[in-house]
Amino acid sequence: MRPTNPVFTGINTTVFETMSRLAMAHNAVNLGQGFPDVDGPMDIRQVAADALLDEPNQYPPMLGLPELRQAVADANKRFYGLDVDPAAEVLVTSGATEALADCIFALVSPGDEVVLIEPLYDCYLPLVRQAGGIPKRVRVRPPEWKLDPAELRAAFSDRTKAILINNPMNPTAKVFSDAELELIASLCCEHDAFAICDEVYEHLVFDGQKHRPLMAYKGMRNRSVRIGSAGKTFSLTGWKVGYITGGAKLIDPIAKAHQWVTFTTPPNLQKAVAFGLSKDDAYYEDLAGDLMNKRDRMAKGLRSLGFSVLPCDATYFLTCGFDGLGLGETDIEACETLVKEAGVAAVPVSAFYGENAPVEYIRFCFCKKDEVIDEALARLSVFVAAAGAESA
């Protein structure tokens, strides 16, 4: 048989699917793959259900339902003061994952360099490689995950076509500082590079902080595209509805990529997401507030068990060290021990790196009911106590 495409051949199944399968097999509390265990607002789901029954279920417009494009433009104005033309500067996709693929395929040509910040969401590297791009990786390091200006500057060159940045960042739960974003913006302008901004966690930001889109920085309006996800904003991850905002000159080729990837997204879900985006401020405040309480509940419990919990400013993930807890030497070992022996699934942070990954951290997802968090903590407590007794 002829070889199949090496970009996709012989690589691992995504760690999220792998851990969810293991969680199921071992009847574990699943704090691995990131998804809420309570579905998003009933009124949004009702709009989707009604539209499914009462309205056409045929191909909607390729760029997305006009009412959703308008809602995305309105949200850009409302939250970030960005003026966006819904007819030419918004594209609806089947999830942020499709949006990422469309943006990378449309903006990156073979041989172009793409700056990526590690740890990175696991689809970035294969998508850049499939486009023929050359990844230039820069690392942020725990516990603060700060971007080193000199390292970032060194990653840019005359061949840099784009930077792909995830802010707020999975799995680090980092919110990029104003100074970091300014530096990224100035390097993009200096090197005439695009910015692909994965901002799916834009509304899951804590402690009174506000999300700052890179697109709002000087010189970035027409060289950036920003990606949102209804899955995250409305706790409906299975819907896979995403949206891209960007200058018309970028949205045009990105829409051409989209037309050969999915072409459209289910119309009833689009209609419901348009409704969701118009929800009042209280919805968005409660979403972040509830998650922040869960973060604190989980972090306190993990700390009391001896995990070293890193700061978490956003997203629904906590990363922590597990040294001295009897879980094993590496993050992969630790996650295997946890899922099989403690009955709790987590995700190894090394899965978010290309190579030479650090192996000291695991990620727990905390967008779960309080009783589920408590059950996971109770299971971990039993395991840690038993491991401690064994080694004593």
Residue with tokens 């574990």: 28
Residue number with CB closer to ligand GLN (123 or 216):
123
133 lies in the binding site for ligand PMP (CB under 6 A) = no
Which of 18, 235, 237, 264 touches ligand PMP (CB under 6 A)?
A: 237
**Least distance to ligand GLN from the beta carbon of 34, Å?**
3
How far is 168 from 75, CA to CA, in rounded Å?
A: 18
Distances (CA, A) of 18 to 207, 347, 377: 32, 9, 22
**Least distance to ligand GLN from the beta carbon of 92, Å?**
19
Q: Please check whether residue 118 is in contact with residue 353, taking contact to mean a CB–CB distance below 8 angstroms.
A: yes
How far is 242 from 273, CA to CA, in rounded Å?
A: 10
User: In this chain, which stretch among 50-58, 93-101, 251-259, 261-269 interacts with ligand PMP, using CB under 6 A?
Assistant: 93-101
Residue number with CB closer to ligand GLN (12 or 391):
12
- List the single partner that 213 binds among ligand GLN, ligand PMP, none, CB under 5 to 8 Å by kind: none
User: In this chain, which stretch among 7-15, 181-189, 229-237, 304-312 interacts with ligand PMP, using CB under 6 A?
Assistant: 229-237
| Cis omega (within 30 of 0) for bond into 119 | yes
Q: Please check whether residue 102 is in contact with residue 261, taking contact to mean a CB–CB distance below 8 angstroms.
A: yes
CB atoms within 10 A of CB 281: 9
Which of 105, 121, 194, 206 touches ligand PMP (CB under 6 A)?
A: 121
172 lies in the binding site for ligand PMP (CB under 6 A) = no
Stretch 19-38 residues interacting with ligand PMP (CB under 6 A): 34
Residue number with CB closer to ligand PMP (269 or 380):
269
**Least distance to ligand GLN from the beta carbon of 121, Å?**
7
How far is 226 from 99, CA to CA, in rounded Å?
A: 9
**Least distance to ligand PMP from the beta carbon of 171, Å?**
8
Distance of alpha carbon 366 from the chain centroid: 14
- List the single partner that 166 binds among ligand GLN, ligand PMP, none, CB under 5 to 8 Å by kind: ligand PMP
127 lies in the binding site for ligand PMP (CB under 6 A) = no
**Which residues share a beta bridge with 164?**
116, 196
**CB environment 83-112: b (16+ within 10 A), e (fewer):** ebebebbbbbbbbbbbbbbbbbbbbbeeeb
Residue number with CB closer to ligand PMP (38 or 385):
38
Residue number with CB closer to ligand GLN (155 or 376):
376
Chain residues in the site for ligand GLN (CB under 6 A):
14, 16, 33-34, 170
Count the residues of the shown chain that bind ligand PMP, applying the rule CB under 6 A. Answer: 14
Q: Identify the burial level of 252 via C-beta atoms within 10 angstroms of its C-beta, where 0-12 means exposed, 13-18 middle and 19 or more buried.
A: middle
- List the single partner that 327 binds among ligand GLN, ligand PMP, none, CB under 5 to 8 Å by kind: none
Reduced to 3 states (helix: H, G, I; strand: E, B; else coil), residue 70 is helix
Residue number with CB closer to ligand GLN (34 or 142):
34
How far is 277 from 173, CA to CA, in rounded Å?
A: 23
160 lies in the binding site for ligand PMP (CB under 6 A) = no
**Least distance to ligand GLN from the beta carbon of 223, Å?**
26
- In sequence order, the 6+-apart residues with CB closer than 8 A to the CB of 254 are 91, 102, 103, 106, 107, 225, 244, 246
Which of 161, 211, 240, 363 touches ligand PMP (CB under 6 A)?
A: 240
Which of 166, 167, 264, 337 touches ligand PMP (CB under 6 A)?
A: 166
User: In this chain, which stretch among 42-50, 94-102, 298-306, 378-386 interacts with ligand PMP, using CB under 6 A?
Assistant: 94-102
How far is 63 from 258, CA to CA, in rounded Å?
A: 9
97 lies in the binding site for ligand PMP (CB under 6 A) = yes
What is the layout of strands, in order, in the sheet containing 224-229? 90-93, 242-246, 224-229, 194-198, 160-166, 113-118, 134-139
Q: Which residues bind ligand PMP (CB under 6 A)?
A: 34, 95-97, 121, 166, 170, 198, 200, 229, 231, 237, 240, 242
